[in-house]
Amino acid sequence: MRNHATTPTPRRAPGRAPRPPAVRAAAAASAGVVGLALTACSSPAAATPGIDDETVTVGTHQPLTGPAAAGFASISAATSAYFEHVNANGGINGRTIEYVVKDDGYNPATTQTVVRELVQEDEVFAMLNGLGTPTHSSVLDYLDQNGVPDLFVASGSTTWNQPEEYPNTFGFNVDYVVEGAALGQYAADQDPGAVVCVLGQDDDFGETFLQGVELALGADGVATYQTYSTSNEDVTAQIGAMRKAGCEINLLATINGFTAMSLGTAAKMGWFPQWYASSSGGDYPTLVEFLGEDVGPKLLDGFVSANYLPNSPGSDWYELFQQINDEHNAGAPFDGNTVYGMSVGYLFAEALAKAGEDPTRESLVEAVESGELAGNGILPLSFGPDDHAAYDGVGIAVVSGGVQDFVDATYRVDGDTVEAVEPEPVPLEDDGVPTSD
């Protein structure tokens, strides 16, 4: 399997250079014969980009460098490690999976360049887990126009859940409205009289997260809403405004680096409110790495976050992913990004198995929409023909004694209703390698 973790190369025009007239004429004269030969010997798999009798090639854009790299660069390596595990166990319907990873630096302009390379030069079968709302939004129309399955986008934006406009695009992260609503409801359940505030990224991430919080707490339930930009690594003004507003529980729509920055900035002010974070910025080991081993565990004790994947030390999935990480990921640190990346890989493998022995792009999309995929979350997948969001609920995790684990609180959002539900974790089967049975 190739694990192409590459930096962007200069953008090239698609296709080959023009051929001389004589060459074009000769090619035209033989086109009919060649076309008949290809038709006679080709299989359905050979007619589909990125797939042959032995291999399936998928691609992704990831922030291996840039402002989001420290929090998310390890995800694609974990996905690649999971695919190594699948390939070592016979692949899916006899095909190994190759994952082509290209660095976009969390820059939308670069995302456009590398995604065109993946589609036009690498001829990928599908795009898998492209990361980031601003980055992936910049290639959404391009992928749609080229008929490329756009699976399991690494962002909780509701943009990916538009089946009529983008029939080939599906999200993976629980959407930010759901996370905001669940965390807001948990805050209300734990401390009904607390002053609640929100700090959000100045884009769809923060805006939709706030919508969810207000769904749970009402339009007047948030004392102040502050925003930050990833281009400005200073949140002193925002944290100062939240302290002045008397915030007691701060809900964060932040990536990991800015979660750590928020807690660290508040601590320097001598201010220690309760912190709740989206899954995108709530991974304990990553936050400790940012904050340092000396102060991180102290600042994060009691830290609350949302999650929907089996990121629990007692889970069979967790133990399997630790084993895969040791065997196929060069001893990389094991954290929430590892569980996330391998969970993405598992869901793609499951969709590929469901797509049939000779999968096409169309059958792959149909497999995701079928409602028959299980995934490995703590709640069932919600995919269907009219719903391209993966999950409609989350569990609540709390850090205690240096361990981040789920507590007895799981919420689902149904329309305008936030309801407490029982988790329904998917059991591990077949050593984590899906079959077509």
Predicted local confidence at residue 200, as pLDDT: 98
Architecture label for domain 176-307: 3-Layer(aba) Sandwich (3.40)
Contacts of 316 by beta carbon, 8 Å cutoff, 6+ apart: 310, 427, 428
Comparing 397 with 3, which gets the higher pLDDT? 397
**Strand bridging mode 225-228 / 196-201:** parallel
Residues 56-111 have pLDDT tens digits of: 999 999 999 998 898 899 999 999 999 999 999 999 999 999 999 999 999 999 99
What percent of the chain lies above the pLDDT cut of 90? 85
Backbone angles phi, psi at 14, to 5 degrees: -65, 155
**Strand bridging mode 304-307 / 393-400:** antiparallel
Contact 118, 97 (CB under 8 A): no
Backbone angles phi, psi at 368, to 5 degrees: -70, -40
What percent of the chain lies above the pLDDT cut of 70? 89
Residues 243-262 have pLDDT tens digits of: 999 999 999 999 999 999 99
CA dist 394 to 19, 57, 185, 252, Å?
A: 56, 31, 12, 16
- How far is 289 from 304, CA to CA, in rounded Å? 17
* 55-174+311-391 fold: Rossmann fold (3.40.50)
Predicted local confidence at residue 32, as pLDDT: 38
Q: What is the mean pLDDT of residues 318-326?
A: 97
Comparing 24 with 204, which gets the higher pLDDT? 204
- pLDDT confidence of 10, banded at 50, 70, 90? very low
Question: Does this chain's domain 55-174+311-391 share its CATH topology with 176-307?
Answer: yes
Predicted local confidence at residue 8, as pLDDT: 39
The edge-to-edge listing of strands for the beta sheet with 196-201 is: 225-228, 196-201, 249-253, 274-277, 304-307, 393-400, 403-414, 417-420
Token representation of residue 223: 């004392």
- pLDDT confidence of 46, banded at 50, 70, 90? low
Residues 119-176 have pLDDT tens digits of: 999 999 999 999 999 999 999 999 999 999 999 999 999 999 999 999 999 999 999 9
DSSP-based three-state secondary structure for 306: strand
Q: What is the mean pLDDT of residues 26-32?
A: 37
- How far is 140 from 119, CA to CA, in rounded Å? 13
DSSP-based three-state secondary structure for 42: coil
Contact 282, 306 (CB under 8 A): yes
Predicted local confidence at residue 331, as pLDDT: 80
Residues 364-387 have pLDDT tens digits of: 999 999 999 999 999 999 999 999
| Domain boundaries along the sequence of the chain | 55-174+311-391, 176-307
Predicted local confidence at residue 71, as pLDDT: 82
Give, in degrees to the nearest 5, the angle at Cα 17 between 14 and 21: 135
Q: What is the pTM of this model?
A: 0.85
CA-based nearest residue to 138, from 165, 117, 107:
107
Predicted local confidence at residue 17, as pLDDT: 34
Predicted local confidence at residue 284, as pLDDT: 95
Q: Which range, of 38-47, 189-198, 203-212, averages the lowest pLDDT?
A: 38-47
Is the torsion defined by CA of 86, 344, 75, 133 positive or negative?
A: positive
Tokens 């590459």 belong to: 6
- pLDDT confidence of 230, banded at 50, 70, 90? confident
Statement: residue 226 has pLDDT above 70: yes
Tokens 């133990």 belong to: 319
Contact 74, 142 (CB under 8 A): no
Predicted local confidence at residue 330, as pLDDT: 87
- How far is 411 from 415, CA to CA, in rounded Å? 13
Contacts of 40 by beta carbon, 8 Å cutoff, 6+ apart: none
Contact 336, 285 (CB under 8 A): yes
